[in-house]
């Protein structure tokens, strides 16, 4: 037995030594390895990989440095903007799956593609299937911005329209003998209704119908602009979708039917190159500094600005998801980035990209305060909103000097909802009785067993009323609206960006280009003054990421947990669709649960 014990002791020691040596090797590689940047050939095409979801915000990265990073949405837009005036880029080719973009960010990418086409260069896109079994409406909306749409003969086009879906849990809670004690401010908010009703109230239905009708009007208008031969037919085509590939071709929805090898042959013959040799977005950006030059060929000095992301649900704690996916709005991280921008004398202005349904109220208010302090320090702030800037997400955006939205950005939802579940009936049905002692009349206020007492209910409502009053009064002041005007915009209503500009919640429709022009004006610079962006907080270095890994209690478990989380989520959504409507409430100022079905 002693020999066996020594054997296993040496075995585990050897494994530990190998792991340590491996980590040491990674550290050396991370600190010393400097890959060479790629070069752009004299003639090439820019390849857009839209076959997988396109992130808004770069994740924390891997452990080894690389000259080429996985592109995020802003990278694709920037590459298209530079490529339009780059004589070395002959065309854009793209392969499309499901991008994971909502209406607002789809519009931003479409506009970048349209601006590229204005240079006279072609933009071609290929898809094996444009969502014939779901998720095809926004994918086709994106594809329509390209000059040619190619689809596999056995695929299809899911042109079926848009719907907004919300889950209602009252029936399930009743079966469980759980009483939802939730309230909202006010009738259009809808968040409490998902727990207290079995379907939409009339005000919520009206608000959501206005949203989806607004989206459809925008999509129809843009499809008829980009594919003129469909003018006057788009609404009818949507009502008769989805389409088999051949039918989509005969109706003019797509231009060519081809298998992947035929698509690759077309690219080879047309541009005299293999598709695998095309420049990816990451390679193209890594190969170019893109610093503007004057008429004499000298580099022009650029004004330094900060780019700060506010993406995902605003969490009551730091949020984020480590080194694999920063999908939540970490309010303390964002607040620190705003302070950094305020204290850095080299930064003269801030762009804040917001794509958030809101969440925790104190943390949203904290970010609002930091933006106000940044402005008070004489540094202008422009907020540019993506798919959604609602409730706490809009709370942050409205603090900026200037607010830019896409026509389809979900905007507003100025309101509040909260409450608790009363589970006493459930426990009683199981033969379990709860009892308690307390010191303080309202000590049991947030018990998940018992209901509110009249005094506790009054206190609860007082808090809801305070948050709503604080939200609306700050919105009125920030947007220079009267309280009657903000009342017509608030009460929980959701708006498209196109509607929001009419009621004063937004200053301009557009994307990053419009936001940068606005910031340039606010900094009193010439319109064509170059800007140099720095993302805050800075992405951690490879060594810092390794330190974060090694600092965890169990590095292997840490890696496995992150990987499994993403795998399970992606696999579940591939079967069940977007699961964001089932995300737990993170705070009082959060948009009601809903998802787009297309």
Summarize pLDDT for 214-272 with one digit per residue, the tens.
999 999 999 999 999 999 999 999 999 999 999 999 999 999 999 999 999 999 999 98
The arithmetic mean of pLDDT across residues 356-364, rounded, is: 93
- Considering the domain architecture, whether residues 147 and 252 belong to the same structural domain is answered as yes
Residue 130, domain member (yes or no): yes
The residue annotated as part of the active site, out of 127, 132, 144, 391, is 391
CB atoms within 10 A of CB 38: 17
The arithmetic mean of pLDDT across residues 54-66, rounded, is: 65
Indicate the pLDDT class of residue 377, thresholds 50, 70 and 90: very high
Taking CA atoms, 475 is separated from 50, 84, 158, 353, in Å, by 37, 39, 40, 19
Question: Helix/strand/coil (H, E, C) string of 128-147?
Answer: CCECCCCCHHHHHHHHCCCC
Per-residue model confidence (pLDDT) at position 331: 92
Q: Is 596 left (phi over 0), alpha (psi -120 to 50) or beta?
A: beta
- Considering the domain architecture, whether residues 510 and 384 belong to the same structural domain is answered as yes
Per-residue model confidence (pLDDT) at position 134: 85
Per-residue model confidence (pLDDT) at position 528: 87
Residue 275, domain member (yes or no): yes
What CATH number has the domain bearing residue 272?
3.90.226.10
Per-residue model confidence (pLDDT) at position 173: 96
The residue annotated as part of the active site, out of 189, 379, 420, 474, is 189
Indicate the pLDDT class of residue 296, thresholds 50, 70 and 90: low
Mean pLDDT, all residues of the chain: 86
Residue 205, domain member (yes or no): no
Whether the predicted pLDDT of 62 surpasses 70: no
Least confidently predicted of 56-60, 93-97, 450-454:
56-60
Least confidently predicted of 168-177, 270-279, 407-416, 562-571:
562-571
- Considering the domain architecture, whether residues 359 and 275 belong to the same structural domain is answered as no
Residue 407, domain member (yes or no): yes
- Considering the domain architecture, whether residues 307 and 276 belong to the same structural domain is answered as no
Specify the pTM.
0.87
- Considering the domain architecture, whether residues 392 and 245 belong to the same structural domain is answered as no
CA angle 352, 335, 359 (to 5 degrees): 80
Residue 541, domain member (yes or no): yes
- Considering the domain architecture, whether residues 396 and 500 belong to the same structural domain is answered as yes
CA 194 to chain CA centroid, nearest Å: 23
- Considering the domain architecture, whether residues 275 and 371 belong to the same structural domain is answered as no
Domain containing 374 equals 303-416+468-555
- Considering the domain architecture, whether residues 331 and 368 belong to the same structural domain is answered as yes
Per-residue model confidence (pLDDT) at position 325: 43
Residue 350, domain member (yes or no): yes
Indicate the pLDDT class of residue 355, thresholds 50, 70 and 90: very high
- Considering the domain architecture, whether residues 263 and 363 belong to the same structural domain is answered as no
Summarize pLDDT for 135-157 with one digit per residue, the tens.
899 999 999 999 999 999 999 99
Whether the predicted pLDDT of 445 surpasses 70: yes
Residue 84, domain member (yes or no): yes
Whether the predicted pLDDT of 102 surpasses 80: yes
Whether the predicted pLDDT of 476 surpasses 60: yes
- Considering the domain architecture, whether residues 409 and 376 belong to the same structural domain is answered as yes
* Known catalytic membership, residue 569: no
Q: Is 248 left (phi over 0), alpha (psi -120 to 50) or beta?
A: alpha
CB-neighbour burial class of residue 346 (10 A; exposed 0-12, middle 13-18, buried 19+): exposed
- Considering the domain architecture, whether residues 110 and 247 belong to the same structural domain is answered as yes
Structurally, the chain folds into a number of domains equal to 2
3-state secondary structure (DSSP) of residue 336: helix
- Considering the domain architecture, whether residues 335 and 409 belong to the same structural domain is answered as yes
What is the total residue count of the chain? 598
Percent of the chain with pLDDT over 90: 70
Per-residue model confidence (pLDDT) at position 66: 47
* Known catalytic membership, residue 391: yes
Per-residue model confidence (pLDDT) at position 324: 34
Residue 583, domain member (yes or no): no
Per-residue model confidence (pLDDT) at position 58: 77
């Amino acid at each position: 037995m002693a020999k066996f014990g020594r054997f296993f002791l040496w075995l585990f020691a050897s494994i530990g030594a190998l792991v340590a040596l491996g980590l040491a090797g990674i550290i050396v590689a991370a600190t010393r390895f400097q890959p060479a940047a790629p070069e752009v050939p004299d003639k090439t095409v820019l390849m857009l990989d839209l076959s997988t979801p396109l992130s808004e915000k770069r994740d924390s990265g891997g452990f080894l440095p690389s000259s080429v990073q996985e592109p995020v949405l802003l990278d694709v837009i920037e590459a298209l903007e530079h490529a339009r005036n780059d004589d070395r880029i002959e065309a854009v080719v793209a392969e499309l799956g499901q991008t994971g973009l909502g209406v607002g960010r789809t519009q931003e990418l479409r506009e970048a593609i349209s601006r590229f086409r204005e240079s006279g260069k072609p933009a071609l896109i290929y898809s094996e299937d444009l969502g014939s079994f779901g998720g095809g409406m926004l994918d086709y909306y994106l594809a329509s911005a390209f000059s040619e749409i190619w689809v596999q003969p056995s695929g299809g086009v899911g042109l079926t329209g848009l719907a907004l879906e919300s889950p209602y849990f009252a029936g399930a809670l009743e079966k469980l003998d759980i009483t939802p004690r939730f309230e909202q401010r006010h009738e259009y908010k809808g968040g409490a209704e998902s727990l207290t009703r079995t379907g939409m109230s009339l005000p919520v239905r009206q608000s959501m119908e206005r949203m989806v009708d607004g989206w459809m009007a925008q999509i129809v208008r843009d499809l008829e602009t980009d594919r003129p031969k469909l003018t006057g037919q788009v609404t009818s085509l949507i009502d008769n979708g989805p389409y088999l590939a051949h039918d989509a071709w005969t109706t003019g929805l797509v231009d060519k039917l081809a298998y992947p090898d035929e698509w690759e042959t077309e690219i080879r013959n047309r541009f005299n190159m293999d598709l695998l040799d095309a420049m990816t977005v990451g390679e193209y950006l890594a190969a170019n500094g893109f610093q503007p030059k004057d008429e004499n060929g000298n580099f022009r000095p650029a004004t330094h600005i900060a780019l700060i992301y506010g993406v995902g649900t605003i969490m009551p704690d730091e949020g984020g998801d480590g080194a694999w996916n920063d999908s939540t709005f970490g309010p303390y991280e964002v607040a620190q980035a705003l302070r950094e921008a305020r204290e850095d004398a080299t930064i003269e202005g801030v762009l804040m990209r917001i794509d958030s349904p809101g969440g925790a109220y104190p943390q949203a208010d904290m970010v609002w305060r930091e933006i106000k302090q940044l402005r008070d320090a004489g540094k202008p702030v422009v907020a540019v909103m993506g798919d959604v800037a609602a409730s706490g997400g809009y709370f942050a955006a409205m603090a900026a000097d200037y607010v830019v939205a896409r026509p389809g950005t979900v905007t507003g939802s100025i309101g509040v909802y909260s409450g608790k579940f009363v589970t006493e009936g459930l426990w009683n049905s199981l033969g379990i009785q709860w009892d308690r002692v307390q010191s303080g009349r309202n000590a049991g206020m947030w018990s998940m067993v018992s209901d509110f007492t009249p005094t506790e209910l009054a206190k609860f409502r007082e808090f809801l009323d305070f948050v709503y009053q604080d939200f609306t009064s700050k919105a009125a002041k920030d947007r220079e609206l009267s309280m009657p005007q903000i009342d017509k915009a608030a009460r929980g209503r959701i708006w498209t960006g196109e509607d929001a500009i009419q009621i004063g919640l937004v200053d301009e429709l557009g994307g990053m280009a419009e936001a940068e022009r606005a910031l340039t004006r606010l900094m009193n610079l010439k319109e064509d003054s170059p800007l140099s962006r720095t993302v805050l907080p800075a992405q951690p270095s490879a060594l810092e990421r390794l330190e974060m890994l090694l600092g965890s209690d169990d590095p292997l478990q840490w890696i496995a947990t992150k990987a499994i989380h993403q795998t399970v989520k992606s696999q579940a959504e591939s079967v069940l669709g977007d699961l964001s409507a089932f995300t737990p409430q993170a705070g009082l100022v959060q948009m009601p649960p809903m998802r787009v079905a297309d």
